[in-house]
């Protein structure tokens, strides 16, 4: 019986495929897992050094990959990244839009407008720009799968940063709209919304053990998530096993979004 989650012969792009240091963030875990399941993966990140450990891990397991340094908030660099994947492997089947930053802090009164505009372009426009150039190649391949990364902060109230919550909510609605636009072309578009996941991006903000324990207790399962939990959801959504699923937002949050109407802790997600 054919493995319904295998990705043999597929070509994937994962943006934000690096991680700070040797830790494993969502992009690194996703790229490794897609390669492990047979996909040829183009790693995209703005910092070449962040991709090195991802590339080494894929190579150590015999996977096929290439790297591309690109700022995905820039349309011309998005076009070049898609072109690099197609030039190397002749097609594109999968896009994972993983790039995101916490952005400027504060509510509507406090937030810096210029920093707001920059972060909106990184968190929201990058999804549109990468998809803009990826979708025509997916059409040529007869279909494809896109997964956009949001957050439970885009589903629940209570996040201390207006920018972050707004951008993550925008990604949820963009996913629905893209799914409606491109479903007839055989292109599935879904969203994953991680909850209290401990990643290098969270670690660099100085979250201490007490903060981590508070986040664990805020989940229904009383556990802390890892990037591998997020990657498993993404890998399933882009696989043949999810062939009849499009337009959804899948919370990967140990029940956080089911158990509350708002975030119970103002810690960053």
User: How many H helices and E strands in the chain?
Assistant: 10, 7
Backbone angles phi, psi at 255, to 5 degrees: 85, 5
In this prediction, residue 217 carries a pLDDT of 86
The answer to whether residue 161 is domain-embedded is yes
DSSP state of 240: G
Is 99 exposed, middle or buried (CB count within 10 Å of its CB: 0-12, 13-18, 19+)? Answer: buried
For the chain, what is the domain count? Answer: 1
In this prediction, residue 74 carries a pLDDT of 98
Helix (H, G, I), strand (E, B) or coil at 201: helix
Give the separation between CA 131 and CA 240, rounded to whole angstroms: 20
In this prediction, residue 215 carries a pLDDT of 85
The answer to whether residue 267 is domain-embedded is no
Give the separation between CA 49 and CA 54, rounded to whole angstroms: 10
- pLDDT tens digits for the chain (269 residues)? 368 889 999 999 999 999 877 789 999 999 999 999 999 999 999 999 999 999 999 999 999 999 999 999 999 999 999 999 999 999 999 999 999 999 999 999 999 999 999 999 999 999 999 999 999 999 999 999 999 999 999 999 889 999 999 999 999 999 999 999 999 999 999 999 999 888 776 766 667 888 788 888 888 999 999 999 999 999 999 999 999 999 999 999 999 999 877 785 545 44
Q: How many CB atoms lie within 10 A of CB 224?
A: 17
Give the separation between CA 150 and CA 78, rounded to whole angstroms: 20
The answer to whether residue 3 is domain-embedded is no
The answer to whether residue 209 is domain-embedded is yes
The answer to whether residue 264 is domain-embedded is no
- For every residue of 118-187, DSSP letters joined together read HHHIIIIIHHHHHHHHHHHHHHHHT-EEEEEE--GGGTSB--S-HHHHHHHHHHHHHHHHHHHHHGGGTE
Give the separation between CA 200 and CA 184, rounded to whole angstroms: 38
CB 199 within 8 A of CB 141: no
The answer to whether residue 257 is domain-embedded is no
CB 147 within 8 A of CB 99: no
In this prediction, residue 212 carries a pLDDT of 82
In this prediction, residue 1 carries a pLDDT of 38
Q: Return the closest-CA partner of residue 235 out of 94, 105, 110, 133.
A: 94
The catalytic residues are: 164
The answer to whether residue 265 is domain-embedded is no
- Residue 22: CATH number of its domain: 3.40.50.720
Tell me how far CA of residue 231 lies from CA of 5, 6, 36, 238, in angstroms: 13, 14, 12, 11
The answer to whether residue 268 is domain-embedded is no
* Residues of the domain holding 186: 11-248
């Amino acid at each position: 019986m054919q493995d319904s989650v295998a990705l043999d012969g597929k070509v994937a792009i994962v943006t934000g495929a690096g991680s700070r240091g040797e830790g494993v963030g969502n992009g690194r875990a996703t790229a490794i897992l897609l390669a492990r399941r047979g996909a040829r993966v183009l790693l995209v990140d703005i910092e070449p050094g962040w991709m090195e450990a991802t590339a080494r891990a894929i190579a150590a397991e015999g996977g096929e990959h290439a790297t591309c340094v690109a700022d995905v908030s820039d349309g011309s660099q998005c076009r070049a990244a898609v072109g690099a994947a197609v030039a190397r492997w002749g097609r594109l089947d999968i896009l994972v839009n993983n790039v995101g930053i916490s952005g400027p802090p504060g509510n509507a009164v406090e937030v810096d407008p210029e920093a707001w505009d920059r972060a909106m372009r990184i968190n929201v426009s990058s999804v549109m720009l990468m998809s803009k150039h990826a979708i025509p190649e997916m059409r040529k391949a007869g279909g494809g799968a896109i997964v956009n990364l949001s957050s439970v902060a885009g589903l629940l109230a209570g996040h201390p940063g207006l920018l972050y919550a707004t951008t993550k909510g925008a990604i949820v609605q963009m996913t629905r709209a893209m799914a409606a636009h491109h479903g007839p072309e055989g292109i599935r578009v879904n969203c994953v919304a991680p909850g209290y996941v401990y990643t290098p991006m969270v670690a660099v903000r100085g979250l201490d053990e007490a903060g981590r324990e508070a986040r664990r207790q805020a989940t229904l399962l009383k556990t802390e998530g890892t990037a591998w939990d997020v990657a498993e959801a993404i890998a399933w959504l882009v696989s043949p096993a999810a062939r009849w699923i499009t337009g959804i937002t899948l919370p990967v949050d140990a029940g956080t979004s089911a158990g509350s109407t708002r975030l119970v802790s103002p810690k960053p997600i």
